[in-house]
A and B are shown apart, each in its own frame.
Chain A
Amino acid sequence: MATKVHMEALSPTMEEGRLVKWTKHEGDPVKSGDTLAEVETDKAVMELVARADGQLLKVLVPEGTTVPVGNIVAWIGKPGEKVDGAEPAAPARAGNEKRETGNVASQPAPVSKPAPAAAPQPAPTRQAPPAAPADATRVKASPLARRIATESGVDLKLVTGSGPGGRVVKRDVEGAPGREATIAHTAATTFPVSRVPSPARTGAPYQDVPLTQIRKTIAKRLAASIGPIPHFFLTTEIDMERAAEAREALNKQLGEEGGKISFNDIIIKAVALALAQHRACNAWFQEDHIRYWNEVHIGMAVAIEDGLITPVIRNADQKSLREIGTESRELAGRARNRRLKPEEYTGATFSVSNLGMFDIDQFTAVINPPEAGIVAIGSIVAKAVPDGDRVTVRRRLRLTMSCDHRVIDGATGAAFLKTLKQMLENPLAMLL
């Protein structure tokens, strides 16, 4: 009789696993202990091992599929043995139901008894999910404490249990001071550089990439830190001397035709171009996936009488400075008169907020969900800066990017800012 291979709980908090890769294929002989597949848990990629000898008869779950713990992913048995094809692979993710393995007595179980005359094979292993491999990191915790920890992003490993035998109970996780410690712990861990989706320009306006397990965990944990969006901030100082020169020259040229280029227009253009190169920052967080936009739509924060609105300059990376200038002035004007249509202030993929005209040196802006980032622009100020072995006066700008850590990691944001800085410091680069 064939043996089921279940998705095992490979970490204490694992509820589902993504089958990354089958290392054995249908027809391959397997021995107990052999690695069958690589499974991505909420923490890491782990190995799923065989718990029976024989042949890998059937693989029920294709690579890339996420499967709840306990579900059957494959069958091991004797060559040629028939397996119950009726067993659904069930990559279901139904919330409440996820603990059910879905094979209740819906059919009259004709195969439940092994025929008495069966070959005297060693007794087949039990059909129940085999015990997960012993895990030295197992944390003793009550089911309720586990539930609370999972939902509020507390790492049970960092909590001291006060229950019988050091078991973690509700009161230990409820006021868990471990919460900040958890965040710090997570942040200190170095993740591999974000897997930016292939920059293929397929013509589709965007591409949805399912959240990886580690992304999900980051999303859950960081979201529990400071409100729904876990912000972090990156500040850089940019030399605007050349941009200012370019602006003066352009405006001189445009003098007769009317319409002027503002610093804001230059920044919007540069941000849009930099985003086109850094799609990892041009994205929406969508709870169970991240939407990486192939198009760049820049939201431009405009202060209005009793609040703030963000009209959108669509495809800003493809527009000329003049077009951006005209459009932004027109949109801002209508925003102040409350004459914007809904489609004109929704759908931005990234935003720019500028308080430079209010003499603000530098500030942090709040992300406009579901966007993953926003840059806050301070005043352009003349500053004494070292230039070789002397000091010169240059116009400088302090710019701060707010990032949604569920989407953008520190290095990702920094790389984007580096490009943005280069473009602003060398406006000719925008022509490339």
Chain B
Amino acid sequence: MASFDVIILGGGPAGYICAIRSAQLGLSTAVVEQDKLGGVCVNIGCIPTKALLHSAYIASLLKESKDFGVEASGVKTDYGVAMKRSRRVSDQNSKGVEFLMKKHKITVIKGTGVVQPGKKVKVGSDVHDAKKAVVIATGSRVKGIPQIGLEINKTTVISSDEALLLERVPDSLAIIGAGAVGMEFADIFQAFGVKITIIEALPRILPIEDAESSDVLAKSYRKRGIDVIAGAKVTKAAVGKDKVTLDLEAGGGGEKKQVTAAAVLMAAGRAVNTENIGLKECGIQLTERGFIKVDKNLQTTAPGYYAIGDVAGPPMLAHKGFREGAVVAEIIAGQKPHPIKYDNVPSVTYCHPEVASIGLTEDQCKEKKLDYVAGKFPFSANGRARGTGETEGFVKILRDKRYGEILGAHIVGAHASEMIHELAVARENEYTVEEIDLAIHAHPTMSEAIGEAALDSLGRVLHI
């Protein structure tokens, strides 16, 4: 039995950042991890998909390269090679986390941790003692929809876990769920020659994004030959040995449709890992939706036990987990960190074109009856975008009419994921659209569209 100040269950983004920050603050820290360090993000999530998306980007770039005066003949794609490269990237990142643990003298305990009363954590037959706090960061996993016959069987019904390890692509793929995961895999597999049908139950794809962002993506995907079906539920699934047939029904008992594909990728919903880790025994309660119940300081219903990352509630995003990890470490160390602004967490989908947003959507502004003005600038009017041939998309800034507050911002386009942070900084510091405009944007850059959207919200757009 060993004793630490802090013991963290889970070495994913929330857990490992919590460990590093705790160590920085002088706390003796241990991380319990049953698999590879870095969690879903590093091993079967954010990182490998970005590697594959870049492969997809290169493939589609070569298809259009003739227009740019570069002719590439005999271009072949091989998903197996791309997959292996993505694995190497993941492994590098996981090793990177291992290195960081060593650098900060954090003890990594291999195995599955179970929390016990009295701030103890059992791993195998060892029981470790946490003097200050136990932090639960066990994350989440993919889930199927067994109710309609779509249980993940890892051959014809797969999750992102399997999709990331395929040696060869199927001829056709039906993707259920058009959130970030579904949209990214549609992008990847389409570039590798797979016939894609993407199905979303809600009325539009990327349902949490602004409606205009959804529209641009639906149009772009259809142009590339992806079958986009929104507002349709899978009512029945017939899973065969080498194909799956899905019965679809449009919302409100409308039009019926059938989709057949060689495989189905389940990209709808995730389940949090709260089972068999001793929560009940410690008096740690769950919310109605199954997340661990936490207070403002991310403390659970059992004093001394904290929860961070996906298990602590939505949005289930690595960067939200990062911040919670750092903040909890500071709280445990007796500091008073600034509260996390959950309304200022950027949301990014890395498909092509990319979709990034922060704050409210236009529909949310309307629901809240806010008096707002939408300033918009299309990349088709941006010099840099024309030069690279990436004119799809726009920047939209929602400005509060009275005070100029940036209520929300939405970017669709190449590099949207990188550009959203100007608006994240602006919102964090409560800059108004005028400060955005006053900051000089380099020319020619895609980011100029942000300044123009800010101006447009003031009725003074310059380049359209």
**Which chain A residues have a beta carbon within 8 Å of chain B's beta carbons?**
96, 99, 142-145, 147-148, 151, 163-164, 169-170
Q: Is the CB of B402 within 8 A of A143?
A: no
Q: Which of B431, B434, B459, B460 contacts A142 (CB 8 A)?
A: B431
| CA of A170 to CA of B428, assembled, Å | 11
- Residue B35 at the chain A interface, CB threshold 8 Å: no
Closest to A169 in B: B430
Q: Is the CB of A99 within 8 A of B434?
A: yes
| CA of A145 to CA of B405, assembled, Å | 10
Q: Is the CB of A144 within 8 A of B431?
A: yes
With a CB–CB cut-off of 8 A, which chain A residues contact B429?
A: 142-143
Closest to B338 in A: A164
Q: Is the CB of A170 within 8 A of B402?
A: no
Q: Is the CB of B430 within 8 A of A142?
A: yes
Beyond A96-B458, A142-B430, A170-B430, whether A147 also contacts B403 by CB under 8 A is: yes
Shortest 5 CB-CB contacts between residues of A and residues of B: A142-B430, A144-B430, A147-B403, A143-B432, A144-B405
| A-B contact list, 16 entries, CB within 8 Å | A96-B459, A99-B438, A142-B430, A143-B430, A143-B434, A143-B435, A144-B405, A144-B431, A145-B430, A147-B404, A148-B403, A151-B403, A164-B338, A169-B430, A170-B405, A170-B430
- State the Cβ distance, A399 to closest chain B Cβ, in Å: 41
Interface size class of B (residues with CB under 8 A): 10 to 19
Closest to B339 in A: A162
Contact with A along B412-443 (1 / 0, CB 8 A): 00000000000000000111101100100000
With a CB–CB cut-off of 8 A, which chain A residues contact B431?
A: 142-144
With a CB–CB cut-off of 8 A, which chain B residues contact A151?
A: 402-403
| CA of A169 to CA of B403, assembled, Å | 13
| CA of A96 to CA of B430, assembled, Å | 19
Give residues of chain B (442-459) contacting chain A, Cβ–Cβ below 8 Å.
Answer: 458-459
- State the Cβ distance, A81 to closest chain B Cβ, in Å: 30
With a CB–CB cut-off of 8 A, which chain B residues contact A96?
A: 458-460
Q: Which of A99, A144, A163 contacts B403 (CB 8 A)?
A: A144
| CA of A281 to CA of B407, assembled, Å | 44
| CA of A170 to CA of B429, assembled, Å | 10
Closest to B400 in A: A144
**Which chain B residues have a beta carbon within 8 Å of chain A's beta carbons?**
338, 402-405, 429-432, 434-435, 438, 458-460
With a CB–CB cut-off of 8 A, which chain B residues contact A147?
A: 403-404, 432
With a CB–CB cut-off of 8 A, which chain B residues contact A164?
A: 338
| CA of A148 to CA of B405, assembled, Å | 10
| CA of A57 to CA of B430, assembled, Å | 41
With a CB–CB cut-off of 8 A, which chain B residues contact A99?
A: 434, 438
With a CB–CB cut-off of 8 A, which chain B residues contact A170?
A: 405, 430
| CA of A147 to CA of B405, assembled, Å | 9
With a CB–CB cut-off of 8 A, which chain A residues contact B459?
A: 96
- State the Cβ distance, A174 to closest chain B Cβ, in Å: 10
| CA of A144 to CA of B405, assembled, Å | 6
With a CB–CB cut-off of 8 A, which chain B residues contact A143?
A: 429-432, 434-435
Closest to B402 in A: A151
Q: Is the CB of B432 within 8 A of A144?
A: yes
Given contacts A144-B432, A151-B402, 11 further A-B contacts (CB under 8 A): A96-B459, A142-B431, A143-B431, A143-B435, A144-B404, A144-B405, A144-B431, A147-B403, A163-B338, A164-B338, A170-B405
| CA of A169 to CA of B429, assembled, Å | 8
- State the Cβ distance, A68 to closest chain B Cβ, in Å: 14
- State the Cβ distance, B401 to closest chain A Cβ, in Å: 12
With a CB–CB cut-off of 8 A, which chain B residues contact A144?
A: 403-405, 430-432
- State the Cβ distance, B153 to closest chain A Cβ, in Å: 50
- State the Cβ distance, A123 to closest chain B Cβ, in Å: 24
| CA of A144 to CA of B435, assembled, Å | 10
- State the Cβ distance, A75 to closest chain B Cβ, in Å: 25
- State the Cβ distance, A149 to closest chain B Cβ, in Å: 10
| CA of A99 to CA of B460, assembled, Å | 13
With a CB–CB cut-off of 8 A, which chain A residues contact B403?
A: 144, 147-148, 151
Closest to A97 in B: B460
| CA of A145 to CA of B429, assembled, Å | 10
Closest to A162 in B: B338
With a CB–CB cut-off of 8 A, which chain A residues contact B438?
A: 99
| CA of A354 to CA of B458, assembled, Å | 50
Interface centre among B404, B405, B430, B431 (most CB of A within 10 A): B430
Closest to A168 in B: B430
Interface centre among A142, A144, A147 (most CB of B within 10 A): A144
| CA of A75 to CA of B429, assembled, Å | 36
With a CB–CB cut-off of 8 A, which chain A residues contact B404?
A: 144, 147
| CA of A147 to CA of B435, assembled, Å | 12
| CA of A143 to CA of B405, assembled, Å | 9
With a CB–CB cut-off of 8 A, which chain B residues contact A142?
A: 429-431
With a CB–CB cut-off of 8 A, which chain B residues contact A145?
A: 430
- State the Cβ distance, A358 to closest chain B Cβ, in Å: 43
- State the Cβ distance, B86 to closest chain A Cβ, in Å: 39
Closest to B437 in A: A99
| CA of A163 to CA of B337, assembled, Å | 11
With a CB–CB cut-off of 8 A, which chain A residues contact B435?
A: 143
Closest to A149 in B: B403
Interface centre among B429, B431, B458, B459 (most CB of A within 10 A): B429
Closest to A170 in B: B430
- State the Cβ distance, A127 to closest chain B Cβ, in Å: 16
| CA of A144 to CA of B407, assembled, Å | 12
| CA of A163 to CA of B429, assembled, Å | 9
- State the Cβ distance, A189 to closest chain B Cβ, in Å: 27
With a CB–CB cut-off of 8 A, which chain A residues contact B405?
A: 144, 170
| CA of A74 to CA of B388, assembled, Å | 47
| CA of A362 to CA of B39, assembled, Å | 77
Interface centre among A96, A142, A143, A169 (most CB of B within 10 A): A143
Closest to A147 in B: B403
| CA of A36 to CA of B98, assembled, Å | 65
| CA of A203 to CA of B386, assembled, Å | 67
| CA of A169 to CA of B341, assembled, Å | 13
| CA of A342 to CA of B326, assembled, Å | 70
| CA of A142 to CA of B427, assembled, Å | 10
| CA of A148 to CA of B402, assembled, Å | 9
- State the Cβ distance, B397 to closest chain A Cβ, in Å: 14
| CA of A374 to CA of B391, assembled, Å | 64
With a CB–CB cut-off of 8 A, which chain B residues contact A148?
A: 403
| CA of A147 to CA of B432, assembled, Å | 9
Closest to B434 in A: A99
